[in-house]
Amino acid sequence: MGYVYCTTVFVFLQDWVALNSSLGLTNAIIFSFLAFMCLIAFFASVFIDPGGVPSSFAPEMENPQTKKGKSQYCDKCCAYKPPQTHHCRVCRRCVLKMDHHCSWIGNCVGYANYKSFISCIFYGSVASIYSAVIFFCDTLHREHGFRSSKWFGIDSLDHNHKQSLCLAHLPPIKKPNYHRVSGGGTSCMARKEMRSKLSASFRPRCI
């Protein structure tokens, strides 16, 4: 999980739109939130007890059997168990509303941690799709110079494109008026005027 997060944010996202831009920072915050929620739900699924059969549980004496005719009695635990309760061979106990024993979390998915397990799957799936989209956009950017300029404006254009736009809005350079003085030289006033006009004309005016 840490490897996927670092490569998505600091490699693909940085190469695509740069983290110091508004678009890159927004995508980094969204992906970090999804990864954080997935991590919290994962640890909750691992450390929360799925739920065991209370020691004071006893079936109804009038109807101790189920509809299928099987007694709600666990031969391995030597105790009665509620409906939808199963014995886990790995945990070696009966779990309330047991779904399955997940090897990824090293715990059973049952009554108490079922919600956190579903949340972990949800946030992990959304974060994986988000990471795949960022990787796909970065690949398009590397191969075809794609930066979603039509969607996100001029801030996400290539550097060469921005430079061409700046040069397109430069004013035409006018030839300065040279004031000839005696001796064939140029006066100090003419030189200052020429320098000021040249410096003003080379200032880019980007939209």
Query: Which residues are annotated as catalytic?
Result: 102
Q: Which amino acid is at 34?
A: L
Q: DSSP secondary structure string, 62-92?
A: S--B-TTS-BSEETTTTEE--TT-EEETTTT
Nearest to 111 by CA among 93, 97, 121, 92: 97
Whether 52 contacts 91, CB under 8 Å: no
Question: CA–CA separation, 114 vs 179, rounded Å?
Answer: 88
Question: CA–CA separation, 174 vs 160, rounded Å?
Answer: 26
Whether 159 contacts 151, CB under 8 Å: no
Question: CA–CA separation, 89 vs 147, rounded Å?
Answer: 53
Three-state SS for 153? Answer: coil
Which residues is 177 bridged to in the sheet? Answer: none
- Give CA separation, 105 vs 52, 64, 174, in Å: 18, 35, 73
